Chain A
């Protein structure tokens, strides 16, 4: 079983019921996996187009998803279909394995574990309140309005705080490199 299955499936079912925030979180997460998956096979440039095509296909066919099947397998089926389509356009004959859903979902997870560690290190430099905001908006994918409601700040204040936090982080990182 793929680690993120329960989480993604939950978002998908919420999205099917009309919850756009959950659905957006799902599409963002899937976009990350898809980008890594396609980039390894067709290069960065073509990958972005395939990511978008796959997301559109997932959206167009979302009502066909049946909760009795793993969401990750369903997404892999569509990604595989789009990849074969791309190969055919390039007149390339290649076979894409049928049962490699873990492959689509593994790499990005491994990469993001490493990335998460770096992000944690960076975020630790921020004061507590700003750290929570940056985490909520930039990592967990909350909207500014949701983060504002959660912290009791105004939306404007949230935007300014996040902007300043990110600026100070990028200054820090730039400083490290010099």
Chain B
């Protein structure tokens, strides 16, 4: 077909486009995913028994804000990646902020002469923590990938990695209501590892699952 004929065909009987679907689809994928992930945490792992007391303590919220900040930034990158060609350097750079803050906090906790560094670093659950985060991330991962497939990501590896990061960090936030570990070094290593695995899986899968 000649290009001119194609243009005529495309612009013929043009209907007004439905706007605002980018955030709509992403929100749908995210909410459905987080809901499933929360349900899985509640039924399968169960919330930590001392949750009512824990939410009154600052370490609980330190952990919450760390994973939440990563989730929000991951979603910001996904939302930009969903629109072909949008610049997402800003949220990518901003990722350094929560990580650096937690490194500083972990350094302070470890430098305390009375600190039991093995306990701070490994806690009691380091063998399962990253993998439970990855498992809980699966529904959010699926929700965001399905949404992205309807949108227009043009840098598939980056879009996939960002979706993995957002899924992993949301799942880590959900997991934080089950997991009793709150030491900054533990969070920095094991929570971040779970989230990073999700981002890496997203980067690999993005290349072929997000193509359009």
Chain A residues with CB under 8 Å of chain B are 15-21, 23-24, 27-28, 31, 35, 48, 51-52, 55-57, 59, 61-66, 69, 73-78, 80-81, 85, 98, 101
Contact = CB atoms under 8 A, between A and B. Distances in A.
Contacts of B1: 52
Contact of B7 (A28, A73, A101): A28
Interface in B10-37: 10-19, 21-22
A72 B153 CA distance: 16
A65 B7 contact: no
A24 B86 CA distance: 24
B85 A69 contact: yes
B3 to A, nearest CB: 6
26 contacts: A16-B19, A20-B14, A23-B14, A24-B11, A28-B7, A31-B3, A31-B7, A52-B3, A55-B6, A57-B212, A59-B10, A61-B151, A61-B152, A64-B21, A64-B22, A64-B82, A64-B151, A64-B152, A65-B83, A66-B86, A77-B83, A77-B152, A78-B85, A78-B154, A81-B155, A85-B211
Interface in B137-155: 151-152, 154-155
B84 interface: yes
Given A21-B11, A23-B14, A74-B84, 12 more contacts: A15-B14, A18-B14, A19-B14, A20-B11, A20-B14, A27-B7, A55-B6, A55-B10, A57-B212, A69-B85, A75-B85, A78-B152
Nearest to A66: B83
A79 B10 CA distance: 17
Interface in B50-87: 82-87
B16 A27 contact: no
A18 B154 contact: no
Contacts of A76: 85
Contact of A15 (B3, B11, B21): B11
A145 B202 CA distance: 52
User: Can you list the 10 inter-chain pairs with the closest CB atoms, starting with the nearest?
Assistant: A77-B85, A77-B84, A81-B154, A24-B11, A18-B16, A63-B17, A20-B14, A61-B152, A27-B7, A77-B154
A101 B16 CA distance: 27
A3 to B, nearest CB: 18
A80 B82 contact: no
A27 B151 CA distance: 20
B147 to A, nearest CB: 12
B8 interface: yes
A109 to B, nearest CB: 19
B8 A18 contact: no
